[in-house]
Amino acid sequence: MNFELRDKDLAGRIAKLELRSGTLETPVFFPVVHPFKQSEDLPLEKIVGLGFRQVITNAYIIKKKLESRAARVHEVLNFSGVVMTDSGAYQLLVYGADKVAIDPVELAEYEEVLEPDIAVIVDIPTSDTATRDEARLSVEETLRRAYLSLEVVRRSSDKIAWVLPVQGGIHLDVLKWSALESRKLSEFYDIYAVGSPVRALEKYDFGKVIDMVFTVKSTIPVDKPTHLFGGGHPLLIPFAVAMGIDSFDSASYILYAEGGRYITEYGTLKLSALSYFPCSCSVCSRYEPRDLLDMSKEERVRLLAEHNLSVIAKSVREVKEAIKEGRLWELLERLARSHPAARDAFERLIKYVSWIERLDSRFRGAGRGLFLVEYTSYYRPELVRHRVFLEEYCRHVISSSITKPLLIFPGDIGDKPFIESKIYRRVLEVLREEGEDPDHYVKLVYLPFFDLVPLEISYTYPYSQCEISDASSRKILDKMFRAIAKLVSSTGSSVLVFTCSRYYWSRPDLVKERVCTLADCSKVSFTEIC
């Protein structure tokens, strides 16, 4: 296996994953296919026709059906693309160990015979209802099995990329310990996986899933691909990718279809409640909801499954294009407004933005400017980096320039760069009228989202490459005024603040009231220039 990074945005990345049967571009989704009845669900040729050159199937079911007879999984499926085999852990999770008996070494040896491109060892999934002690036992047993399987993993590593699931579930301290212990096996296992989020995903508890992904991704080696079991909803995929997930698998497309559920990028809908299809895929462009309801259940399920899988494919393509263009954050903002679960996922992701910032690209894909539209935009990694720089600037430049007064003026969000703006030219006119030398001042721009920007860097990205909503929330303005007040309090020099009543956030009364409530304004003078 070879994993080569191509592009990145936030903690998400596009990479080339070279395997024995072919090369995939991540992020990549593996549709779950039943090894012996897939033709009844959604034929493989239909799945391939939707653009999927990779699938995941179940080695335990194959072994049980063939009674351990030797077979190659590609021949069993009659499929030439990339195949990943799961070990039967999902059956363990659903039916319990008393009904599903799987010998970990025996099953790994059978996977070796099957010769998939990617294989998962027999782990013990952590149920979302497990106590902390039960979660720890599942981790200990999974790790024990990972070591037991090492001989098989070593001798087949030239053909098979082996996956090590990291268990612990929603018990994040146990999950962290599991990831730390799993890291010791990075020499042998090619891919890590976040184990057992299936129940949380089924309940749309995306916030917990983001916590689990962060706990694993912030611990395991950054250069290893990471898989998310059960990540089959297009509403979750962009958030998981933004946290560093490289691949997913799920049978959601067929399970939802069997339940009469129609997948959209913002949630699932009941087919029986639809009057129109809000989609233009090959199914939705040929039929109306009533047409499917009038069909036999078998045909209806197939068509619904085809639609559902096409929406998942679209979501993966959309998130990859967002990474290419450096606008993954904007995609998350849009999706976060479409469903409460997505909003919860985004709020949880924001908690980890300092970690995300360290992985985020310093170079934007297609050179697009930032769209700053609501308070979540304040936490973009680019603005996190800006505030770190601003803190250093204020500490080392302003605090050391005791004899130099400060000049602060509003930035015109429609007139950039600020150093060439009409407002700045007006500032210079006022100073000259009063016989002041502009070079005598340390000059900064204030505006929503950025708080403060040193004037001399206003040419650089992203200060001149952004579009800012003129309807900034109170939270954003609070942060801007606090930044100004902190600056006023930290300097021993006089401060000249220009206001412009053309902008509601720069009205003289508002600026003076908000800043002087937070800081001593005895050395501050305010001048209206609009």
Concatenating the DSSP letter of every residue in 369-407 gives PEEE-SGGGGG-HHHHHHHHHHHHHIIIIITT-TTSPEE
| Number of compact structural domains in the chain | 2
Any residues with CB less than 8 A from the CB of 193 and at least 6 apart, and which? 120, 163, 164, 165, 166, 226, 227, 228, 229
- Confidence (pLDDT) at 100: 60
**Are 349 and 453 contained in the same domain?**
no
Positive/negative CA dihedral, 133, 134, 137, 142: negative
**Are 400 and 476 contained in the same domain?**
yes
- Confidence (pLDDT) at 379: 96
| 3-state class percentages of the chain: helix first, strand second, coil last, to nearest 5 | 45, 20, 35
- Confidence (pLDDT) at 148: 96
Last residue of a domain, one of 325, 359, 393: 359
Contact criterion met (CB below 8 Å) for 104 and 112: no
In the DSSP assignment, the letter for residue 216 is H
pLDDT in tens, 237-253: 999 999 999 999 999 99
- Confidence (pLDDT) at 506: 95
- Confidence (pLDDT) at 99: 55
* Residue 366 pLDDT grade (very low, low, confident, very high; cuts 50, 70, 90): very low
**Are 416 and 452 contained in the same domain?**
yes
Identify the residue whose tokens are 């680019």. Answer: 382
**Are 7 and 105 contained in the same domain?**
yes
Q: How many other C-beta atoms can be found within 10 angstroms of the C-beta atom of residue 221?
A: 10
* Residue 365 pLDDT grade (very low, low, confident, very high; cuts 50, 70, 90): very low
Last residue of a domain, one of 339, 359, 379: 359
Gap between the Cα atoms of 494 and 262, Å rounded: 63
Shortest CA distance to 272 belongs to which of 281, 283, 260?
Answer: 260
Helices then strands, each counted (H, E), the chain: 22, 20
The reply to whether 99 falls in a domain is: yes
* Residue 347 pLDDT grade (very low, low, confident, very high; cuts 50, 70, 90): very high
In this structure, what token pair is assigned to residue 113?
């015979």
**Are 191 and 268 contained in the same domain?**
yes
Contact criterion met (CB below 8 Å) for 291 and 312: no
Judged against a pLDDT cut of 90, whether residue 329 lies above it is answered with yes
**Are 22 and 150 contained in the same domain?**
yes
CATH at 300 = 3.20.20.105
pLDDT in tens, 301-310: 999 999 999 9
- Confidence (pLDDT) at 473: 84
**Are 461 and 343 contained in the same domain?**
no
**Are 158 and 198 contained in the same domain?**
yes
**φ/ψ of residue 304, rounded to 5:** -65, -40
- Residues known to be catalytic: 86
Which strands make up the sheet holding 12-19, listed edge to edge? 2-9, 12-19, 22-26
Residue-number span of the structural domain to which 475 is assigned: 370-528
Beta strands at 54-58 and 28-31: parallel, antiparallel or unpaired: unpaired
* Residue 33 pLDDT grade (very low, low, confident, very high; cuts 50, 70, 90): very high
Judged against a pLDDT cut of 70, whether residue 518 lies above it is answered with yes
Gap between the Cα atoms of 521 and 525, Å rounded: 8
**Are 143 and 269 contained in the same domain?**
yes
Residue 353, classed as helix, strand or coil, is helix
Most confident range, picked from 237-251, 358-372, 390-404: 237-251
Last residue of a domain, one of 359, 379, 412: 359
Gap between the Cα atoms of 49 and 449, Å rounded: 45
Positive/negative CA dihedral, 208, 214, 219, 223: positive
Residue 182, classed as helix, strand or coil, is helix
pLDDT in tens, 106-164: 999 999 999 999 999 999 989 888 899 999 999 999 999 999 999 999 999 999 999 99
User: What distances in angstroms separate CA 346 from CA 219, 284, 299, one per listed residue?
Assistant: 21, 30, 37
- Confidence (pLDDT) at 362: 76
The reply to whether 426 falls in a domain is: yes
**Are 351 and 411 contained in the same domain?**
no
Judged against a pLDDT cut of 90, whether residue 197 lies above it is answered with no
Q: Indicate the average pLDDT of the chain.
A: 92
CA angle, residues 271, 274, 278, in degrees to nearest 5: 100
pTM across the whole model: 0.92
